[in-house]
Amino acid sequence: MRISLQTLIVIGTCVAGAALVFGLVSAQYQQIAALQKQAELSQLAQRDNRHLQLMSAQWLTTIDLFFGYQQSYLVGGISTQAEQLVAISRQFEELDNPDISTLAATLPESIRAVVALTGEAAIQADPDSDAWNESVTRTDAITASLIDQLDQLDSTVAQQLQMDTSLLAGANRRLQFVLGISCSLYILVMLLAWLWLNKSIVRPLEVLSAQTAQNKFSDDSIFLIGKAPREIVALSKGLHNFTARLAKAKNQVEKKKTELEENLQELQDTRLQLIQAEKLSSIGQLAAGIAHEINNPMSYIKSNLSTLTRYFDAFKRAIAGQEALFQAAADAPQTAGTHLQELRTLHEEEDFEFLIPDSQEILKDAVDGAVRIQGIVKDLYGFSHVNNNGYTQVNINDLVQQALRIVANQLSPDTKVVTRLGKIPVIIAEGDKLSQVFLNLLVNASHALNGGGQITLATGAKDRRVWLQVKDNGCGMPEDTLVKIFDPFFTTKDVGEGTGLGLHIVQEIIHSHSGKIDVKSAPGKGTVFSIVLPVEQAGYQADTVTPMQ
Ligand SMILES: Nc1ncnc2c1ncn2[C@@H]1O[C@H](COP(=O)(O)OP(=O)(O)OP(=O)(O)O)[C@@H](O)[C@H]1O
Ligand SMILES: [Mg+2]
């Protein structure tokens, strides 16, 4: 990775500043540590010096007692005290201070000289002798010089302690000064670096961030920052290229989306056409039976109408005879008898006692036949019609019976239909599509029976769901057929007899209602199709949906 000059300067400044502060502080600290040690030694010397001065005073007093009052027994104490003084004065030699150690080094010699003189004087023990006086004189001279040496040592030790203490205080003050200055300088440098970084890095980054927030992946001119650290320029170029690629990809995706939407629309249209074609194909397969069903009532309506035409002729003649009789009674009463006779003959010939109730019977039959034809046409219309009513309140039992009426004519007389329609709630569904489902299943069952057998239709409800079973004891299916029956265009029927779309569309319709379809079959034993449908559909409330027309 290449690092920009700005970043290097910032890193360099931070490291150099930190090293400088560390160096200065550490040097000061080492100096302070050395001075501290020195001051501690001086304090020790001061303590030893006080001890030395105190003991010297006692020792000199003992010597005065010895010489002044000729206490010769004190010579042993003088010697012991002298050894202690020598031991204390030796301690000064350990101090790394030539002035003090030189002064201290002269003490043992004087002390021992005095001890020697007191030793000699104690042996003589005669204060009037010259030797005694000589010892006193020499001892006075040595102790006077010793006192001088001790005074010098005292003042040198005091000076040294004072000097070390003031050096230590000075070094401490310097350390505080160095610390204060270097921290202030460091803060100042950091502040300047931060301001500079803010200007050269943060600001360009803010500009980039604002650009990214506004970018609509279309404007090629943005995301390019000229004056900024190398990394930021690289980032802006990267973003620029990335957004350019995104904009291109977005265009492609949008194109693809439009294409896919068009394709989807086409597929939906084709699907609707297929469903409709399949519907018509089912109706086509049933056409012969339906024609027969319509033909039956039509033929007796026709024969009834021709009988009625004949009856109508007799009624016409009777009415004409009546009119002639009424006319004769008014205009020529002598001819009325003839007309009355003619009317009686007509009554005897035509048997109006029979014709009138028979006409009523014939008319009623004709009306029944017409109603039956109307029913068949209505059922057929329900299936063949492209219905876009959408979801309505639907009674499954009604739809099953309607499908049964349409299929009934194609069932052989040896086929028994058993219906066990339970008490079920209305459901929200696309009624015309469900009719197609039931019709397809019934047509398939009738084909599977191939002559005679039994079709059982059952419905029921459980847990806000309704179920339907279409069962036949026809040919059944082997396993390899069973796994393919819902595939589009799969059929075992001869060309022209089946499209193979029936069960595929059945499955699609059930799934579009969030329902389930299941099949069980065994060759030679029969087949059961089971369907389960929810009473409600997502997005539809039972009470807001109108009943099916
Ligand atoms: N009740 C059944 N008993 C036995 N086989 C059946 C039954 N129902 C369907 N099949 C088998 O499933 C195949 C596919 O049925 P599907 O209804 O999809 O098409 P089809 O009946 O052949 O033609 P169409 O599209 O005209 O309905 C049928 O050809 C048949 O072999
Ligand atoms: Mg079918």
User: What are 301-337's pLDDT values in tens digits?
Assistant: 998 999 999 999 999 989 998 898 898 888 888 888 8
Q: Residue 542: is its pLDDT beyond 60?
A: no
Q: Which tokens hold the place of 272?
A: 């609707």
- Section 443-472 average pLDDT: 94
pLDDT at 228: 74
431/193: higher pLDDT: 431
The set of long-range contacts for 139-148, using a CB threshold of 8 Å and a minimum separation of 24, is 139/63, 139/67, 139/114, 142/110, 142/113, 142/114, 142/117, 143/60, 143/63, 143/110, 143/114, 145/110, 146/56, 146/60, 146/107, 146/110, 146/111, 146/114, 147/56, 147/60
pLDDT at 544 > cutoff 60: no
Nearest 5 degrees, angle CA 87-CA 91-CA 94? 145
pLDDT, averaged across the chain: 85
Confidence of residue 497 (pLDDT cuts 50, 70, 90): confident
What's the confidence (pLDDT) of residue 257?
96
Instruction: Tell me how crowded residue 529 is: count the other CB atoms within 10 A of its CB.
Output: 23
Instruction: Report the pLDDT value the prediction gives residue 398, as an integer from 0 to 100.
Output: 93
Our answer on whether the CB atom of 501 is closer than 6 Å to any ligand 1 atom is: yes
Instruction: Give the dihedral of Cα atoms 356, 357, 360, 361; nearest 10 deg.
Output: -140
pLDDT at 65 over 80: yes
Residue 149 clears pLDDT 80, i.e. is over it = yes
Tokens at residue 295, please? 């033909």
Overall average pLDDT of the 253-276 stretch: 90
Res 2 pLDDT > 70: no
Q: How far does residue 475's CA lie from ligand 1's centre (Å)?
A: 11
- Of 503, 510, 528, 529, the residue with max ligand 1 atoms within 8 A of its CB, to mutate for a pocket test, comes to 503
The single-letter DSSP state of residue 440 is H
Whether the pLDDT of residue 91 is over 70: the answer is yes
Ligand 1 neighbour 505 (Cβ under 6 A): no
CB of 499 closer than 6 angstroms to any ligand 1 atom: yes
Mean pLDDT (whole number) for 111-138: 83
pLDDT band at 389 (very low <50, low <70, confident <90, very high): low
- List residues, by chain if needed, whose CB lies under 5 Å from ion ligand 2: 444, 502
- Tell which one of 280, 442, 491, 518 to mutate to probe ligand 1, the residue whose CB is within 8 A of the most ligand atoms: 491
Distance CA 343, CA 341 (A): 5
Q: Name which of 51-60, 458-467, 533-542 the model is least confident about.
A: 533-542
* pLDDT value at residue 305: 93
Residue 470 has pLDDT above 90, yes or no: yes
Q: Which of 216-230, 290-304, 338-352 has the weakest average pLDDT? A: 216-230
Distance 330 CA to ligand 1 centre (A): 79
Tell me the pLDDT band of 440, cut-offs 50, 70 and 90.
Answer: very high
Q: Locate the ligand 1 atom nearest the alpha carbon of residue 497 and give its number.
A: 26
- C-beta of 500 in contact with ligand 1 (< 6 A): yes
493 CA distance to ligand 1 middle (Å) = 8
- Residue 513 pLDDT more than 90? yes
Number of Cβ within a 10 Å radius of residue 372: 16
Cβ(448) to ligand 1 under 6 A?
yes
Is the pLDDT confidence value at 232 over 60?
yes
pLDDT of residue 386: 55
Rounded average pLDDT over 461-481: 96
Q: Among 86-100, 379-393, 494-508, whose mean pLDDT is lowest?
A: 379-393
State yes or no: pLDDT of 248 exceeds 80: yes
Q: Is the pLDDT of residue 543 over 60?
A: no
Q: What percent of the chain has pLDDT over 90?
A: 30
Amino acid letter at 97?
N
**pLDDT at residue 242, as a whole number:** 84
217, pLDDT greater than 60: no
Share of the chain above pLDDT 70, in %: 93
Per-residue pLDDT, 237? 82
Whether 492 is in the pocket of ligand 1, judged by its Cβ within 6 Å, is: yes
- Beta-carbon contacts of residue 104 (< 8 Å; ≥ 6 apart): 89, 90, 92, 93, 153
User: Does residue 532 carry a pLDDT above 90?
Assistant: yes
More confident residue, 282 or 369: 369
CATH topology of domain 388-544: Heat Shock Protein 90 (3.30.565)
pLDDT, tens digit (0-9, with 9 covering 90-100), for 174-191 = 888 888 888 888 888 888
Q: According to the model, what pLDDT value does residue 510 have?
A: 96
What residue ranges do the domains of the chain occupy?
Answer: 5-197, 273-378, 388-544
Tokens of 408: 């009934």
Q: What is the pLDDT of residue 421?
A: 96
**pLDDT attached to residue 484:** 95
The residue written with tokens 């030797």 in the block is 131
402 lines ligand 1 (CB under 6 A): no
| DSSP annotation of 2 | P
Instruction: Enter the CATH code of domain 5-197.
Output: 1.20.120.1730
Question: How far away, in angstroms, is 502 Cα from ligand 2 center?
Answer: 4
CA distance 172 to 448: 112
Point out the least confidently predicted range of 40-49, 210-219, 505-514.
210-219
Q: What does the pLDDT read at residue 270?
A: 87
At 461 the pLDDT is: 96
Q: Assess contact for 517 and 444: CB atoms under 8 A.
A: no
Which whole number is the average pLDDT over 503-510? 93
Q: Is the pLDDT of residue 126 over 80?
A: no
* Cβ(290)–Cβ(282) below 8 Å: no
For the ranges 86-100, 218-232, 414-428, the maximum mean pLDDT occurs at 414-428
